[in-house]
A and B are shown apart, each in its own frame.
Chain A
Amino acid sequence: MRLPRFEYFAPKSLPEALTLLEEKTDGVHVMAGGTDMMVKMSHGRLTPKTIVNIKEIPDLRYIRFSPDKGLEIGSTALLSDVLKDSYINAYYPALIQAVQTMANTEVRNMATLAGNLCNAAPSADSAPPLMVMGAQISLLSAKGERRLPLMDFFKGPGITVKAPTEIMTAIHVPSPQSNSGASYKRISARCGVDIAAVGSGAWVKIEANKFTGARIVLGAVAPVPLRAVETEAALIGAPFHDETVINAARIASNEAKPISDVRATAHYRKRMVEVMTKRAIFEACERSHARQS
């Protein structure tokens, strides 16, 4: 269980942290809550030469909402901060659903939302709801800042477009549109304490009894959180009734490319994609009706 050796820094400002990441090019890792990194390190799957703890940078821990700009979550905002936030509870229930099922109290008191994304596990619970709600992320390095859709962030298990010199500084989620709603459903062997065997995030927009918008993202069934484009196509333009949703969920099951592992067989995962996606779409529909203009 002993950790490998590394150099450690806890900068008190963002510029200081960015300089460190530029200087210590070889084997340098940002650490936020450490709940993924510490497990990997104790298993010998991660051997950083240098760790830069960003939790002591005071201005990164915030959650802000305004109707025109939407939601902005700073990179060291904890999962427990997300759960307590009144705006997120009021306007982003799909995100609450995801974070609520994640881990346990202790881990949620340490772990960050940005860390869940940067860790890039195919099963990361916050990824599907944030992706379907159209989230963007800000990446900052000494060379400057860029902002990109979360949809374009993941490249493989543990791999993202983020350079080692970049810090994810914020997650942005647009204000909820009228007539739209989102939901996240997941299943696992041991509720939150175990990671998801299958997760499904759905966002829909319903106008004049027709689906005018849909985004579906599946977790833990591909090397990255998977955008189910065929499922979305089956919804968009189709009339809003049960058959449309049931048919779309069936397509999602075919789009999923799961593997068998200790948590579930590929066959079971495909079947559960159908169930979770059906439930997520139906709930997203209910929420869109509650937000009718």
Chain B
Amino acid sequence: MKHNIKFRVNGDDYSLAVEPWRTLNEMLREDLNLTGTKLGCGTGDCGACTVLVDGKAVSSCLTLAVSVDGKSVMTVEGLAESGEKLHPIQESFIKTGAIQCGFCTSGMEMAAYNLLSVNPSPTEQEIRKELAGHLCRCTGYNQIVEAISVAAEEMKNLRPEEEKS
């Protein structure tokens, strides 16, 4: 039996009938055509599928679509708010050469977004620890760690003066 659910993705409201055995990853990619979120392992091990649900990073492959009823989802498509100008995290991934094939990128960027929202100036060690659940078969990780440090600096510069400390 399908369940009628209402939820928000990147600021847009959706109402959809979904089978309970559909994962959030399948719903995003197949029903909403938001294919920026990837599916790697399907078992929580690789981090390619990371999205934010109610502001917290989760694995969309381990999340049932029905369980986001009433909740707010953010995917990599929501990072660039206007849909044109890229988010500083995306800019720094490009600039530092943190993207090769790109399969891990959206998961990495969502993890970075999650990290910087709770810890705006992470140390290299903290960044590496945060990425422990994310696999990249191309870059060797160093550029990704650098990209996140650069993004943290950029975002600090963008914040209004009084918030800086």
Residues of A at under 8 Å CB distance from B?
1-8, 10, 34-35, 38-39, 42-43, 51, 53, 55, 80, 103-107, 109-110, 191-193
A8 touches B132 (CB 8 A): no
* A and B contact pairs by CB, cutoff 8 A, 16 listed: A7-B1, A10-B67, A10-B69, A34-B67, A35-B44, A104-B133, A105-B130, A105-B132, A106-B44, A106-B50, A106-B59, A107-B59, A107-B62, A110-B63, A193-B45, A193-B133
Q: How many angstroms between the C-alpha atoms of A109 and B62 in the bound complex?
A: 12
Q: Contact partner of B56 among A3, A43, A109, A192, CB < 8 A?
A: A109
Q: Mark B41-84, 1 if CB is under 8 A from A, else 0.
A: 01111010010000011110111101101000000000000000
A residues within 8 A CB of B39?
1
Q: Within 8 Å of chain A (Cβ to Cβ): is B14?
A: no
Question: Which chain A residue lies CB-closest to B44?
Answer: A107
A residues within 8 A CB of B58?
106, 109-110
B20 touches A7 (CB 8 A): yes
A10 touches B66 (CB 8 A): yes
B21 touches A38 (CB 8 A): no
Question: Which chain B residue lies CB-closest to A3?
Answer: B21
Question: Which chain A residue lies CB-closest to B62?
Answer: A38
A residues within 8 A CB of B50?
106
Residue from A53, A103, A104, A191 with most neighbouring chain B CB atoms (10 Å) = A104
A residues within 8 A CB of B115?
105
Q: Within 8 Å of chain A (Cβ to Cβ): is B95?
A: no
B59 touches A110 (CB 8 A): yes
Q: Distance in Å from the Cβ of A38 to the closest Cβ of chain B?
A: 4
Question: Which chain A residue lies CB-closest to B50?
Answer: A106
**Known: A105-B130, A109-B56, A110-B58. Contact between A3 and B23, CB under 8 A?**
yes
Q: How many angstroms between the C-alpha atoms of A241 and B132 in the bound complex?
A: 38
Top 3 A-B pairs ranked by shortest CB distance? Answer: A104-B133, A8-B20, A3-B21
B44 touches A103 (CB 8 A): yes
Q: Within 8 Å of chain A (Cβ to Cβ): is B105?
A: no
Q: How many angstroms between the C-alpha atoms of A34 and B69 in the bound complex?
A: 16
Q: Within 8 Å of chain A (Cβ to Cβ): is B148?
A: no
B residues within 8 A CB of A35?
44, 59, 62
Q: How many angstroms between the C-alpha atoms of A55 and B62 in the bound complex?
A: 14
B111 touches A105 (CB 8 A): yes
**Known: A5-B21, A191-B132. Contact between A39 and B43, CB under 8 A?**
yes
Q: Within 8 Å of chain A (Cβ to Cβ): is B3?
A: yes
Q: How many angstroms between the C-alpha atoms of A146 and B152 in the bound complex?
A: 50
B residues within 8 A CB of A10?
66-67, 69
**Known: A106-B57, A106-B59. Contact between A34 and B64, CB under 8 A?**
yes
B66 touches A107 (CB 8 A): no
Q: Within 8 Å of chain A (Cβ to Cβ): is B114?
A: yes
A residues within 8 A CB of B44?
35, 38-39, 103-104, 106-107
Q: Contact partner of B132 among A4, A53, A110, A192, CB < 8 A?
A: A192
Q: How many angstroms between the C-alpha atoms of A6 and B21 in the bound complex?
A: 7
B residues within 8 A CB of A38?
23, 43-44, 61-64
Q: Distance in Å from the Cβ of A77 to the closest Cβ of chain B?
A: 14
Q: How many angstroms between the C-alpha atoms of A106 and B60 in the bound complex?
A: 9
Question: Which chain B residue lies CB-closest to A43?
Answer: B43
